[in-house]
Structure 1
């Protein structure tokens, strides 16, 4: 028997609410829509009255945003799946925060997967996740996408079976591929293993000083101790591990390494 869920939809677009309601009825009949709201204030009232398990929440609405709505609750004890028309840089922001989202127009398969994931975890959104998401949705940040950004003061949310780990990017030494998993080697504490492909983190970290030197490794340039020349060469990391640089990625890697040293002031 499928788990029954009580849900509400908060979105300022009538067509968007209707489309999502119809999709849920077709592919997720176990999700009962207990109400709709066209803005954040009405959404706050509806949540307090209905006490749903799950809220489908638009981010951009007239007046208060979806973030403002969540901030009004002392404790967010319901699940949230954001529905958004944001594109490009926003996808990276959601991945950084490990928060579920659906891009409009909503794809039926992605909707089904998001609901299934929520049912398997039944977890509310952590305030730190929201903060990371908001930081990365900053419009000023999107204008800098063509440039690499320093790793300082940046955090990333890493979802594991035990829960969400919040990690400073400066503490990541390297990301190692373990098949369909990615292992994060950190400065302190045990490594963290996440059930996501290395390629996904290559895309997430693309605008920071991380580089995929090999099919199996993404390294943090801040933690390189030395580079040994060779066919592709090798890098020695701050934890004394040695990582091969593939021959086809060597030139791009050395160019980025030079840029990093100049921008960090380590190369005069």
Structure 2
């Protein structure tokens, strides 16, 4: 069995030891090459050991896990964040397409994260880290003006070819293709991601997107016209005509009205 060289960066000794013990049990192919309790010692350890994978705590006294990654012009190792953040942090990690483990770490989730790294063997990009930082302290909001500001942030879309960094307001709609989601972007660009539309419904809940139908999530910024009907129909900026589910109609029209009020656009 080929070994994966890994290091653990966490300011809490108990947390480092607990993760080491778990890895020995559920991921024996992972060899811990060292541990660090702060960013400065982690930086030295990474340069010395050249690990394949770094388990990285976000919140540490002094410098954070983000500060560590900012030291690298190119991040040529895999990163799995370990964090005590809850709730809204999950959305932030999904938006940035970065793997994470919530403390206390679940053995099955740890094993799944390591298997995912082994199957993809990809490092993360500085842009993904920036997206995570932008979203990590951005809680789920009912503020419609905040949603509008959020719509000008970015999302990382993982594909077989690599990570695509996309502006939220360049997404026209997301279309379900079974276990895949097809992103329709401006300039007729298309990106297909191996994730369910349901996952992106949860991710985009903090933005001006709405799931108008079982198969479609749309960006309200790209609606050109709403045509009344049983559920109705929206005409999008790329010429797509999308049905609105009858049971979603009232919620959709309420959000659309709020969007126009907050954006200053005319219906």
- Whether 1:91 aligns to 2:87 is no
Residue number in structure 2 paired with 1:22: 21
1:230 is aligned to 229
Give the equivalent residue in structure 1 for 2:261: 262
Number of the residue aligned with 1:56: 55
Per the alignment, residue 154 of structure 1 pairs with 153
Q: Structure 1 residue 74: deviation in Å?
A: 3.2
Shift of 1:190: 2.9
- TM norm structure 1: 0.95
- The alpha-carbon deviation at position 137 of structure 1 amounts to 1.5
Unmatched 5+ stretches in structure 2 = none
**1:13-72 CA distances to partner (integer Å, 9 max, x unpaired)?**
111111111111111100001111111111111111111111000000011100111112
Partner residue, 2:109: 110
* 2-structure distance, mates of 1:190, 1:45: 42
- What is the CA–CA distance in structure 2 between the aligned matches of 1:167 and 1:120, rounded to whole Å? 24
Shift of 1:189: 4.3
* 8 Å contact kept, 1:34–1:50: yes
Unpaired stretches in structure 1, ≥5 consecutive residues: none
Separation of aligned partners in 2, 1:114 and 1:33: 16
How many residue pairs align between the two structures?
A: 264
TM-superposed CA distance for 1:81, in Å, is 0.5
8 Å Cα contact 1:147/1:207 also seen in 2: no
Shift of 1:109: 1.3
* Greater alpha carbon shift after TM alignment, 69-78 vs 172-181: 69-78
1:193 aligned partner: 192
What's the C-alpha RMSD, in Å, of the aligned pairs?
1.3
CA contact (8 A) 2:74 2:126 kept: no
What is aligned with 2:141? 145
